[in-house]
Amino acid sequence: MRKHIGVARLVYSFRLSASNVEKVRKKVDNLSEWVDKQFENEANIMDWTDEQKMVWRRWLAVQPDAVRDIATSFPPTKTYTGTGIPKDRYTIRSYDHNDNGTVTLTLLREDGSGTVHGVNPNQLQQA
């Protein structure tokens, strides 16, 4: 069974238990510089508030390494095109952590007309 990690939901609803706060805080500090660079880039498709950026940092900090690596390489603030998928522009809807340790993506067409599931991140390039 794969674990579905929805991007839109995480930005608005992520919460931390008190026991994990210090552990997560250290990881958040390490990710802060990277996250700030991602949001300063002019190619972003959306502008997140400072609160949403902090939620993203916290979410990244508690994800398995495989998910964190893919999420930092392919942030949800960008649009992508790909090989082996219909020739459209996409945003990342979710990161899916599979039982075998791999991460696949669910993509949303930029015009909102549909999704593509189970996409290997290696098939993507930034649009």
Residue 107 phi, psi (nearest 5): -110, 150
The two tokens of residue 102 are 């791999």
Beta strand 90-97 with 3-6 is antiparallel
The two tokens of residue 28 are 């958040």
Q: Per-residue pLDDT tens for 15-74?
A: 555 556 566 666 666 666 666 665 565 566 777 788 888 888 899 999 999 999 999 899
Q: Considering the chain, what percentage of its residues have pLDDT values greater than 90?
A: 34
Indicate the average pLDDT of the chain: 78
Domains held by the chain: number:
1
Distance in angstroms (rounded) separating the CA atoms of residues 102 and 8: 21
Element (H, E) at 119: strand 115-119
- Look at residue 117 in the predicted model and tell me its pLDDT: 93
* CA within 13 Å, CB half, 20: 12
Distances in Å between the alpha carbon of 44 and those of 38, 79, 123?
A: 8, 8, 20
For the question of whether the overall pTM of this predicted structure is more than 0.95, the answer is no
Residue 82 has pLDDT above 60, yes or no: yes
What confidence tier does 12 reach under pLDDT thresholds 50, 70, 90? Answer: very low
* CA within 13 Å, CB half, 125: 5
Query: What is the domain range of residue 24?
Result: 3-126
Quick one: which of 67, 74, 75 has its CA closest to 11? 75
In whole angstroms, what separates CA 45 from the centre of its chain? 13
